[in-house]
Homo-oligomer: A and B are copies of this chain.
Amino acid sequence: MSELYAARRTRLRDRVAGAGSAAALISRPANVRYLTGCAPPGAALLLGPADDVLLCGRPLSGDPAEGRPADDVRVSVLPSRGGDPVVAGADLAATAGADTLAVEEHHLTVTRHRALSQVAPRLRLTDLACAVEGQRLVKDDEEIACLRIAAEIADQALGELLESILVGRTERHLALELERRLVDHGADGPAFPTSVATGPNAGRSGHLPTDRRVEEGDFLSVCLGANYRGYRCEIGRTFVIGTTPSDWQIELYDLVFAAQRAGREALAPGVECRDVDRVTRHVLDAAGYGERLGAWTGHGVGLEIDEDPQLSPAAMGKLDACVPVTVEPGVHIPGRGGVRIDDTLVVRPEADGGPELLTITTKELLAL
């Protein structure tokens, strides 16, 4: 695994050197983990000019959830009152003779950036921009293997919930139970706060669980994901509580299902991201729900639950093979509830069988 991280850092180093910087300081946690295998809270990675140093504010915990640093990364633990690892990194770069340092301006605050200038006044700070995020877009086999396990864990947790009694239980309890099951099945934790939405809440994007109890006749929409070795997936399903879904529920469900299928089927290398969004959105738009849709209908996943690419009308760029994305349209009708259906898939060429569905729980409209 150490070679993998070394190759990622070499690729970044080449890019940084090509842009005229001797060194780079990476502070965004997911980027630090991508390049070193490890991201203790607040740590920063100094890439060159000499060796690669992971600066940490406290000793490594050794916990698998935090990861382990690659063998060829030097770990430097600041003394217990040693301040900010990012500032220490700039100081180290200057001491090691760098004259230019590329930093992540989209992650550093104005105040922190100023502290770097103050600790190393002769160091010219440039913007690394989203270079590491760009590298993270296409996933390698190890990353996809982690995502596959994460999806399997989420499927298992959701499957078990469906076998239990739901009526009378609150959204909060169901969400906590799902998170416990994720951990039972080997997740390092939930990938994001689990959303459970019943009745009039169902179908709301990012709904925070409340004390509302599940009732007969409700729509129940659930969105959860597992974090496995830092990699995060997402699955969302909507069910009906009771024996027979009513007509409006069946209609709305079929519509959202059709939209989600259209999005899934549009995934292929070379396709514009906004075109995937457009075909998904079109189905709902044509049925008069265009105004109720959010800003996007899907997004990339990986070391963060919401990363590039974005599937939205304004998105630039095309999909590549081995890019994992969600397809997750939803409609929420105020006062009535709604439907969301959400899968994580990996973009694959048609010759390889087309998009690989990671979250395999059924998308039939189940009555629970």
Contact = CB atoms under 8 A, between A and B. Distances in A.
Interface of A: 41, 58, 61, 63-66, 80-81, 105-114, 127, 172-173, 176, 179-180, 183, 204-208, 210, 293-295, 312-314
Given A108-B109, A172-B183, A176-B180, 4 more contacts: A65-B210, A80-B294, A105-B110, A110-B113
Contacts of A65: 208, 210
A-B residue pairs, 6 tightest by C-beta: A105-B110, A106-B111, A176-B180, A105-B111, A81-B295, A110-B113
Contacts of A313: 81
A279 B207 CA distance: 46
A362 to B, nearest CB: 27
Contacts of A105: 109-111, 114
Copies in the complex: 2
Contacts of A64: 210
A113 B112 CA distance: 13
Contact of A81 (B63, B172, B312): B312
19 contacts: A41-B206, A58-B206, A61-B207, A61-B208, A63-B210, A65-B208, A65-B210, A80-B295, A106-B109, A106-B110, A106-B111, A108-B109, A109-B110, A110-B127, A111-B127, A173-B180, A173-B183, A176-B179, A180-B180
Given A208-B63, A295-B80, A109 B111 contact: no
A247 B136 CA distance: 52
Nearest to A63: B208
Contacts of A206: 41, 58
- Choose among A80, A173, A206, A312 the residue with the greatest number of B CB atoms under 10 Å from its CB: A80
A167 to B, nearest CB: 19
Contacts of A66: 208
B183 A293 contact: no
Contact of A109 (B81, B107, B179, B294): B107
B183 A80 contact: no
Contacts of A111: 105-106, 127
A21 to B, nearest CB: 16
